[in-house]
Homo-oligomer: A and B are copies of this chain.
Amino acid sequence: MDELKATPRTTLRRLPARGSYDRALIYAILDEALLCHVAFAEEGGQPYALPVNYARVGEHIAIHGAAGSRLLRALADGVPACVSVTLLDGLVLARSAFHHSMNYRSVVLLGRFKAVTDREEKRALLTAIVEHILRGRAADARPPTAAELDATLVVVLPIVEASAKIRAGPPVDDPEDMSIPCWAGVVPMALVAGSPIPDPALSQGIALPESISRYHRPGR
């Protein structure tokens, strides 16, 4: 896949070696994470960054929410937005306090969302959001009704102005610190799924579907 064009707003100035504009890498991070933080600013400059779930659908990010939600209404109005997605991969324990860090893979996306008005397009994007939560789930669950579609705002942002930033590997200490007798290394971190907990109101005799029993998070 291609490289996105770095813009003055997405050019990484701090530690540019950790940055990337590679579309395949950006997509892989977006597809692995479950939540993003979406930011918008009020007039006067007060920003809000709120966690929401989402899906990448082709070259777009789709977000949904209640039609009355302030966030969704602002995004549908096309205010400048930022989508930030971060996977935490490890605690980086250096010999010096100064070089402590985290291993992570992150994406920052800039642009303006657009509301999706076409009902079939909306339905497809909502299906993608359910599938992003758990692949195979959309086939098992009851699809949205017309009333549910109307009560939901769906907005999409093209993945055009975006960058990824990655830190991986061991700590990097200053040469003069390498002989300090202090353990140094990485504690890997990963989001993992536990055993499914059935709804206490679940009817008798409903088996766990394979989409759930086989579910696992991408390991590291």
A154 at the interface (CB under 8 A from B): no
Binary per-residue interface labels of chain A (77-114) against chain B in the complex, 1 for a CB within 8 Å, 0 otherwise = 00111111010101101111110101010101010000
Instruction: For A171, list chain B residues within 8 Å (CB).
Output: 199
A84-B35 contact in complex given A79-B45, A193-B187, C-beta closer than 8 Å: no
A212: interface (CB < 8 Å): yes
Known interface pairs A53-B102, A84-B49; A96-B141 also in contact (CB < 8 Å): yes
**Contact, CB under 8 Å: B191 / A179:** no
| CB 8 Å contact bits of A119-148 with B (1 = contact, 0 = none) | 000000011011001100110111111001
Residue ID in chain B nearest A111 by CB atoms: B46
Specify which of A43, A83, A96 lies most central, judged by the most chain B CB atoms within 10 Å of its CB: A96
Q: Interface majority SS on A: helix, strand, loop or mixed?
A: mixed
Beta-carbon contact of A197 and B183 below 8 Å? no
A173-213 interface bits toward B, Cβ cutoff 8 Å, 1 = contact, 0 = none: 00001111111111111111111111111110011110010
Total interface residues on A, using CB and 8 Å? Answer: 100
Please indicate the chain B residues that have their CB under 8 angstroms from the CB of A83 in the complex. Answer: 49
Q: A102-B133, A133-B91 are contacts. A40–B35 as well, Cβ < 8 Å?
A: no
Q: How far is the CB of A62 from chain B (nearest CB, A)?
A: 14
**CB proximity of A159 to chain B, nearest CB, Å:** 16
Which residues from B are CB-within-8-Å of A35?
86, 88, 102, 104
Query: Which one of B70, B134, B141 lies within 8 Å of A95 (CB-CB)?
Result: B141
Q: Are B46 and A9 in contact, with the CB atoms below 8 A? A: yes
A97 touches B141 (CB 8 A): yes
